[in-house]
Amino acid sequence: MTPNSTVSLEKLAASSLEQCLLRLSRVSAGTWKVLDIKVYPGNLEDAVKQRVSSTPAAAVYFNLNAGSAITTLMVFNPADVQCISKCFTGLSFPRGAHTTPAEEVMLLELGNIVLNALANSVLNAMKKSAMPAVPQYAEGDAARLLAGLGTMADLTKYFLVIKASLAIKCDLGETISEVFVLLPPELAAEWKH
């Protein structure tokens, strides 16, 4: 992949996420902003370990099959669920000792919206399509997240990683979420924009 191709992929990712977050801002109680986007070669294990150290994280993830599997992942800080729920639904879910089923559903829906916006913009630009996938949820330290993710993707396979950091802000505060789309080498080689 050339440096120009990397820049064009970053611009596409920024544009699709900004449009998605603008729509979220219009219908939700919070403000949503893209902070940073990077495109680099890497693997799923390194991406998770970069984001999740000793503190637990919550992750929404799924694969889209476009001839080859595109892996998507959105990572949240579960301690910030009250802020995330207020920003997304207008109602704050009081934080308990564990993530409740309602909180999990809310995170699944949010992750589904954001991940599909980014992944589908890349697929559309490549003139490819994929069937929708059912998002999955995992929570815990890096080892626990990787155990869940390992059921759908090779953790050590190198991909072209699109990573975005998003700020989610409302009257309860602000949190950062990270979004990853991992293109397998055979699809990354087709990126010619």
Write out pLDDT tens, residues 39-49.
999 988 888 88
- Is the predicted pLDDT of residue 32 greater than 70, yes or no? yes
Q: Which CATH class is domain 3-188?
A: alpha beta
Put simply, whether the predicted model's pTM sits higher than 0.85 gets the answer yes
- What stretches of the chain show up as alpha helix (H) in DSSP? 3-27, 44-51, 81-89, 101-125, 142-149, 185-188
**Mean pLDDT, residues 14-24:** 93
Which tokens is 159 given?
Answer: 């991909």
User: What length does the chain have?
Assistant: 193
At residue 20, the pLDDT reads 93
**Mean pLDDT, residues 120-143:** 89
At residue 7, the pLDDT reads 85
Which tokens is 130 given?
Answer: 């994929």
At residue 3, the pLDDT reads 65
* CA–CA separation, 20 and 116 (whole Å): 10
* CA–CA separation, 142 and 125 (whole Å): 32
Considering only residues 119 and 94, tell me which one the structure prediction assigns the higher pLDDT. 119
**Mean pLDDT, residues 55-69:** 88
Mean predicted lDDT score pLDDT of the chain: 88
